[in-house]
Amino acid sequence: QVQLVESGGAFVQAGGSLRLSCAASGIIFSLNAMGWHRQAPGKQRELVATITTDGGTNYADSVKGRFTISKDNAKNTIYLQMNSLKPEDTAVYYCNADIHTTLGRANFWGQGTQVTVSS
């Protein structure tokens, strides 16, 4: 059984930093594209950042220059370094991954981690 487990969410003051982690576990043949999404109260889930197998990255305009996505292939883990946090970054952050498992290729989501930024 494949799982994605996020960690690192916290309460932080505006201007502060956090680093989120997402570890994939289980029988994994290959990790393909992975990414972070977020959902604020009353809003739709939105893409924050993605990273491809060859390390290519993509960011939402709202986080460009402040957030950095990275990965550790040996640990099947991706990270989201969030700097200069703003109150509007408050949301539940979800990890997402396209994974090739024993049952074939599928898309997986983590349970989410809460980030709260106070003004």
8 Å CB contact between 59 and 38: no
State yes or no: pLDDT of 103 exceeds 90: no
pLDDT digits (tens, 9 = 90+) for 28-63: 888 899 999 999 999 999 999 999 999 999 999 999
8 Å CB contact between 2 and 20: no
Task: Name which of 2, 4, 28, 6 is nearest 115 in CA terms.
Answer: 6
| 3 state SS of 8 | coil
pLDDT of residue 28: 87
> How much of the chain is helix, strand and coil, in % rounded to 5?
5, 60, 35
pLDDT digits (tens, 9 = 90+) for 59-89: 999 999 999 999 999 999 999 999 999 999 9
8 Å CB contact between 31 and 76: yes
